[in-house]
């Protein structure tokens, strides 16, 4: 046990040396950091693992990372100078702790969400995306987690195809979950809106846009398919059906909305 802890501390030597050399921490502060990390390392390698030990270590390292960033600003060191050796070393340690904790306590969905939130704050969106995927392997029965993951793919990763794939996978697992259908329906409408905004940015002519409306997405065909699939899966639920109309009214600017509303009312 002591050898493992010592090896981990030795791996941090370069980080300590650089932090001292550029004036981020004094010798006394570094010694205190070493003592604190040693204490945390011993706790997480014990035979009986406790989630709180990981969380305490993560909390300490997160505060340390914030302190490094504040001192960078105060000392006018710049955000990049020796960042790999110090800032990123701390970030990687936090990630390692989160991964280990999530592996050992995988049923704790809040632990996964805390990890994802940390990654988002670090602007590490690609890793956050992969952690969503890993979390869903264990928590695939939680429909709201699928929705969170899909929204993240669409809004942050700007990957409509990934978002759609997540919604479709979720509905194969939870076909009777009404909220999933409604969020998927709204996503397809938001995707139409995104395409139209892109067209405006590209400054296409009216004729080009009209020609492009032959596309199934812009004509609302996929939106229509989602509704019909939902209505077929969850039958005899007028309140559920009316929920689709309420969502459509949020997108009244689309040419296909009125006809689709009429279709829904005729069901």
pLDDT, the chain, mean = 92
Task: Report which DSSP code applies to 247.
Answer: H
- How confident is the model at residue 47, as a pLDDT? 83
Q: What is the mean pLDDT of residues 107-111?
A: 98
36's CB contacts (< 8 A; 6+ apart) are 60
Task: Say yes or no to pLDDT of 176 above 80.
Answer: yes
221's CB contacts (< 8 A; 6+ apart) are none
Record the tokens describing residue 232, joined without a space.
């077929």
- How confident is the model at residue 206, as a pLDDT? 52
> Assign residue 124 a region: left if phi > 0, alpha if psi is -120 to 50, beta otherwise?
beta
Task: Say yes or no to pLDDT of 131 above 90.
Answer: yes
| pLDDT tens readout for residues 6-43 | 888 888 998 999 899 888 999 999 999 999 999 999 99
In whole angstroms, what is the distance from residue 88 CA to residue 260 CA? 51
Q: Specify the higher pLDDT residue, 247 or 267.
A: 247
pTM above 0.95, yes or no: no
Task: Report which DSSP code applies to 76.
Answer: T
DSSP H helical ranges for the chain: 2-11, 13-21, 27-44, 51-75, 87-104, 109-121, 125-138, 143-155, 160-173, 178-201, 206-212, 221-233, 238-249, 257-265
- Give how far the C-alpha of residue 1 lies from the chain's centroid of Cα atoms, to the nearest Å: 35
- Longest pairwise C-alpha distance within the chain: 76
Q: What is the mean pLDDT of residues 123-140?
A: 98
User: Which of 64, 65, 66, 85 has the alpha carbon at shortest distance from 22?
Assistant: 85
Percent of the chain topping pLDDT 70: 93
CA torsion angle 105 123 26 31 (round to 10)? 10
Residue pair 154/190 in contact by the 8 Å Cβ criterion:
yes
Q: What is the CA radius of gyration of the chain?
A: 25
Q: What is the mean pLDDT of residues 144-152?
A: 99
For residue 204, give Cα distances in angstroms to 62, 200, 218, 251.
47, 6, 15, 21
Record the tokens describing residue 188, joined without a space.
């397809």
- How confident is the model at residue 171, as a pLDDT? 98
User: Which of 135, 141, 80 has the alpha carbon at shortest distance from 109?
Assistant: 135
In whole angstroms, what is the distance from residue 155 CA to residue 163 CA? 9
Task: Say yes or no to pLDDT of 214 above 50.
Answer: no
3 state DSSP class of 55: helix
């Amino acid at each position: 046990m002591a050898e493992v802890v010592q090896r981990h501390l030795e791996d941090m030597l370069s980080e300590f040396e650089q932090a001292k050399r550029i004036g981020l921490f004094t010798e006394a502060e570094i010694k205190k950091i070493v003592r604190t990390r040693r204490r945390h390392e011993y706790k997480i390698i014990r035979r009986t693992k406790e989630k709180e030990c990981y969380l305490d270590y993560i909390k300490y390292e997160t505060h340390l990372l914030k302190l490094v960033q504040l001192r960078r600003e105060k000392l006018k060191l710049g955000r990049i100078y020796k960042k790999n050796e110090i800032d990123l070393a701390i970030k990687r340690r936090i990630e390692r702790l989160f991964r280990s904790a999530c592996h050992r306590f995988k049923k704790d969905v809040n632990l996964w969400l805390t990890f994802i939130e940390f990654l988002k704050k670090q602007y590490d969106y690609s890793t956050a995306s992969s952690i969503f995927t890993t979390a869903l392997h264990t928590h695939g029965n939680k429909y709201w987690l699928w929705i969170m993951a899909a929204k993240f793919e669409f809004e942050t990763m700007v990957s409509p195809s990934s978002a759609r794939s997540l919604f479709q996978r979720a509905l194969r697992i939870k076909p009777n979950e009404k909220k999933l259908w409604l969020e998927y329906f709204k996503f397809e409408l938001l995707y139409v809106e995104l395409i139209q905004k892109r067209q405006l940015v590209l400054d296409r002519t009216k004729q080009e846009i009209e020609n492009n409306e032959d596309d199934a997405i812009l004509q609302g065909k996929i939106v229509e398919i989602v509704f019909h699939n939902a209505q077929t899966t969850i039958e005899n639920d007028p309140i559920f059906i009316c929920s689709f109309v309420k969502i459509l009214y949020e997108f009244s600017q689309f040419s296909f909305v009125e006809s689709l509303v009429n279709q829904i009312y005729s069901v």
